[in-house]
């Protein structure tokens, strides 16, 4: 439900969403040949690799800006995310449209 809400917000802001993926592994497979500018990545993806590791691996094969969106906003989690993916933005849940819009406007969509 949260992912669909974020998808709607992104589309309302004029962005094309190419997919929602239930796991890091599925995101890696689906995005291997895709051309993306921005990843909106939850940190907790259930079992398997988490969103931080998923974003790191995707950025190994293609440059993309990253916005982490997570209910886990403790200093250790946030620090790990930002150390692993320098230049990423970090937004807590619940997420509002204005916070997402501001993060997108402030992130460097060219290449971090």
The pLDDT tens digits for 51-92 are 999 999 999 988 899 999 998 888 999 999 999 999 899 999
What confidence score (pLDDT) does residue 110 get? 41
Long-range CB pairs of 17-25, under 8 A, 24+ apart, other chains included: 22/46, 23/47, 23/48, 23/49, 24/48, 24/49, 24/50, 24/51, 24/53, 24/54, 24/57, 25/49
What confidence score (pLDDT) does residue 97 get? 93
The per-residue pLDDT of the chain, averaged, comes to 90
Task: Decide if 3 contacts 92 (C-beta within 8 A).
Answer: no
What confidence score (pLDDT) does residue 2 get? 80
What confidence score (pLDDT) does residue 108 get? 61
What confidence score (pLDDT) does residue 23 get? 93
Question: Pairing mode, if any, of strands 65-70 and 38-42?
Answer: parallel
Query: What's the predicted TM-score (pTM) here?
Result: 0.89
List the one residue out of 109, 90, 87, 85 whose CA is nearest residue 100: 90
User: What is the CATH number that goes with domain 2-71+80-106?
Assistant: 3.40.50.2300
2-12 pLDDT, tens digit per residue, is 889 999 999 99
3-state secondary structure of 87: coil
């Amino acid at each position: 439900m949260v992912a669909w809400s974020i998808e709607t917000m992104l589309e309302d802001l004029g962005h094309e969403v190419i997919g929602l993926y239930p796991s890091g592994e599925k995101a890696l497979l689906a995005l291997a040949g895709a051309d993306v500018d921005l990843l909106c990545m939850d940190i907790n993806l259930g079992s398997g690799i988490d969103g931080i590791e998923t974003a790191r691996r995707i950025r190994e094969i293609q440059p993309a800006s990253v916005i982490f969106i997570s209910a886990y906003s403790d200093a250790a989690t946030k620090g790990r995310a930002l150390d692993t993916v320098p230049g990423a933005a970090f937004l807590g849940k619940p997420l509002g449209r204005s916070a997402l819009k501001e993060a997108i406007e402030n992130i460097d969509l060219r290449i971090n």
